[in-house]
Amino acid sequence: MAEAALRIEGLSKSFGGLVATDNLHLAIESGEIHAIIGPNGAGKTTLVAQLAGELKPNAGQVIFAGRDITRLTMPARAALGLARSYQITSVLLNFTAEDNVALAAQAVAGHSFRFWRPARSDPALRQPAREVLAQIGLAERADTLAANLSHGEQRQLEIAMALATRPSLLLLDEPMAGMGREESGRMVALLESLKGRHTILLIEHDMDAVFALADRITVLVYGRAIATGRPDEIRNNDEVRQAYLGEEAIDA
Amino acid sequence: MDPLLLLEQAFNGLQFGVMLFLIAAGLTLVFGIMDLVNLAHGSLVMIGAYLATTFIGWTDSFILGLLLAIPAMFLVGVVVEVIVLRTLYLRNHLDQVLATFGLILFFNEIIRIIWGPISLYSGLPDYLSGHVEIIPGAPYPVFRLLIIAVGLLVALAIYLIVARTRLGMLIRAGASNNEMVGALGIDIKLLFTLVFALGAVFAGLAGMMLGPLTSVEPGMGEPLLILAFVVIIIGGIGSIRGAFVAAIVVGMVDTVGRVFLPVVLRAFVSDAAADTAGPALASMLIYILMAAILVVRPRGLFPARTG
Amino acid sequence: MDRRQILVAVIGLALFALVPPLAGIFDQPFYVDMFARIMIFAIAAVSLDLILGYGGMVSFGHAAYIGVGAYAVGILSYYGIDNGFVQFPVAIAAAALIALVFGLMSLRTTGVYFIMITLAFAQMLYFLGISLEEFGGDDGMPAYRSEFAGLIDLTDADQFYYLVFAFLVAALVVTHRLIHSRFGAVVRGAKANERRMQAMGFPTYRYKLAAFTIAGTMCGIAGALFANWNEFVSPDAMHWTRSGEIMIMVIMGGMGTLIGPVLGATGLLLLEEYLPEWMEALIAGTGEHWMVVMGPILIAIVLFGRGGIYALFARRGGDDG
């Protein structure tokens, strides 16, 4: 078997007495969309923070593209090709949409200690930024300040910024958060279009979206993975049904 | 090196330390609870010194003067909080810094208008101006001992307030959390005013103690304010315990360093060089200490707040 | 920068350029001196705005670099080295080094810690200056005007003025290029959302450190010019209230705009110059207590003066300077 895109081995994190991640083992295969679901308090956000490098785990390892990144800082992980989007929209509000994406493109365009040439007229940044904006469906909004974008558009911009860093792994933390039905639909279509081109780790509450998109699903409960499998396997897993109680959520 | 001199300097360091604690305590409380950076805290030290000197002059009694100055400082605290600082709580730190900077200019000038530009000197009553031999052969000024005692008493009082009272509970909770405070049935505005006025009393007390030691003049609180900042940085913002430990450490290091650093340097370099570099190095000592501590602990020794 | 913003900048600088001839016509040489001082502090304010307005770093110790630049000139002058081609590079290098060291330490912290630490470091240099008996201690020491091998004569008020003017223009050009470069984009991004910038792969610390060092260096030049203007160097140059004043200039003029700090420096220093006269004219005997009015004015500027003087002239430009 080829080396997994991301391997999590024995990852543990606790806050005082509260165990948020409990000896978690997980392998994300290259090219798949792997969704992580779980009831509130399952430790999804804590997991994302540990993968992205915002939180240090108490134990365990994170192996990304065959390399142990457990001790690396957030920027160092990003530089290796691990991009993330935020659950709470986290774009640069006083930058235009294009400037946001161009900045992300700049992050992979080598070091940024260039002091003199104007960045705004630099085709090496503008070109990829426009391409990503077009891909994501925000081309007409390129010159709009991020603050003036609608919530749905800001969520799209989040993804665009992650994509512009040309990542090998996308870590998407609830991309549908706070979206209406129509907006969610568009986001699902967008993620669908990324399928196969990027490895995606998707944390999401919207079960319709998860079951429509995911190649494999892992169910997280109290920081432990109680099941991993194809969507139909997860749907029919008794333990999962019990953990969720609200079975209709999965049936829906 | 003379052990008696060392002991005397240690006492001086302790006295300076508790003085710094009196100033830093209010500063760190106000920051911890109201999230307010108040540069004008040093002005409260100055106002305390002027009020005490004036009241002592009027009443012709040191104790009566202080007894009048303390409630007066409380009143000053209430007025300043209600008129100016209250509007700053929701502002960012930059605005707070600049607005309270403006407040300093105002206070210094008001003092000049009322008391004139010339320094005042407040004497000590006979019973406080003598020396006692706590250690045989090392007479120590009674008044400095009094300062140490007052400082330690205030530290104890603050500890009891924080550990035993409802107000303390809120302080410990780091409560700029209006919802929680509201849930406890406490008027948040009143709480803030109270905390600020308390801090003003402590700062004023420091000024009252300082009066007889130095000259009472406009701007006298400002160098102390910056030292109090150093204390808070070292101790951890919002932490009373941190402020106490750091204040004593800073007081000791500064005092003892000034006396002994040139002596110590002489063992390594020429006397002339030591006499030049000694005072220079000593004046930088606590800042170097601060930098060293920050390298190890960027949030101070006792980080009380997150975020 | 849109047309109007460029217009404000150009008209503003043209007015500065016209001060010496106008002062000559009206026989008021005093103004050349006064506006040279204003421009020197404008350079300091522009440099502070680079990190404060564009980088979100609330440095409360910026006067330290004025002191370093000034002392570099003063100390060299004390040892008989009056050559400006030596003095200025030394001043620049010293300010850069100090800013780098202070930045290394202080940028490990954020928020109010950063404010207090930058203040404390500046205060450390202030006390260092006081304890240096050899260089006059708290009294300071005289400094002769720098000599530039006969190319420029700084003892000539007009020539000195235009040297300062050239440095101001250079500071504005450099700042303009910086904030619009890739580097500037990272610094501005770190102000807007540092965590996000790190998640995108920018190790923001080193970019902020570079900006902090550049700003300190630029301010060091202001210090070297200030020593020349004052023909005197003392710890007062780095007194903490001076740092406060430079911050006020930035806020008063318009934080995060290119020309705002220049307007702010002009506004504040003119106010300090004329407020006492106005008060004296209004009520005799009050002039000496002008600070009692100045304080509340500053508070009002902070509380109500969003966008600063610059916002009066040009559309609020925000980050596009």
Complex-level ipTM? 0.88
Q: pLDDT, tens digit, for every residue of A134-164?
A: 988 899 999 999 999 998 899 999 999 999 9
Distance CA A116, CA A122 (A): 12
Distance CA B197, CA C123 (A): 28
Closest alpha carbon within chain C to A159: C200
Structure tokens at B8: 């005397």
* Maximum distance among all Cα pairs of chain A, rounded to whole angstroms: 62
Q: How many CB atoms lie within 10 A of CB B153?
A: 11
**Residue among B119, B103, B87 at smallest CA distance from B43:** B103
Instruction: Kindly tell me whether chain A and chain B come into contact, counting contact as 3+ Cβ pairs under 8 Å.
Output: no
C289 in B contact zone (CB under 8 Å): yes
* B236 located within any domain: no
Angle between helices C260-282 and C30-52 (to 10 degrees): 130
B-contacting residues of C 78-107, CB under 8 Å?
105
Say if residue B155's pLDDT is above 70.
yes
Amino acid identity of residue B239, one-letter, is S
Say if residue A123's pLDDT is above 60.
yes
Interface contact B93-C115, CB threshold 8 A: yes
Please report, rounded to a whole number, the percentage of residues in chain A having pLDDT higher than 90.
51
The domain tally of chain B equals 1
**Residue among A113, A95, A207, A221 at smallest CA distance from A161:** A95
Structure tokens at B1: 């090196």
Structure tokens at A20: 């948020």
Interface contact B101-C248, CB threshold 8 A: yes
State the pLDDT confidence band at C317, using cuts at 50, 70 and 90.
very low
> Quick one: pLDDT at residue C321?
38
The domain tally of chain C equals 1
Write the burial class of residue C2 (CB in 10 Å: 0-12 exposed, 13-18 middle, 19+ buried): exposed
Distance CA C275, CA B250 (A): 40
> Quick one: pLDDT at residue B181?
60
Q: Which helix (H) or strand (E) holds C174?
A: helix C157-180
Distance CA C222, CA A27 (A): 58
Distance CA B140, CA A203 (A): 69
* B19 located within any domain: yes
* B299 located within any domain: no
Q: Where are the alpha helices (DSSP H) in chain B?
A: 3-34, 41-59, 62-83, 93-115, 126-129, 142-164, 166-172, 178-183, 188-210, 222-235, 240-266, 271-296
> Taking the model in full, what pTM does it have?
0.91
**Residue among B55, B88, B34 at smallest CA distance from B204:** B55
Strands A199-203 and A82-85, sheet pairing: unpaired
Closest alpha carbon within chain C to B299: C109
Helix (H, G, I), strand (E, B) or coil at A37: strand
Structure tokens at B43: 């002005």
B212 and B48 Cβ atoms separated by less than 8 Å? no
Q: Which of C145-149, C184-188, C212-216 has the lowest mean pLDDT?
A: C145-149
> Quick one: pLDDT at residue B306?
42
Please compute Rg for chain B using Cα positions: 20
Q: pLDDT, tens digit, for every residue of A95-122?
A: 999 999 999 999 988 778 888 888 888 8
Distance CA C118, CA B97 (A): 13
**Residue among C309, C220, C218 at smallest CA distance from C261:** C309
Fold exhibited by the domain A1-81+167-252: Rossmann fold (3.40.50)
Name the residue among C117, C292, C298 with its Cβ closest to that of B101: C298
Write out chain C residues lying below 8 Å of A78, CB-based.
Answer: 198-201
Say if residue C256's pLDDT is above 50.
yes
B106 and C292 Cβ atoms separated by less than 8 Å? yes
Structural domain containing residue C262: 3-320
C-contacting residues of B 182-211, CB under 8 Å?
none
Structural domain containing residue B78: 8-218
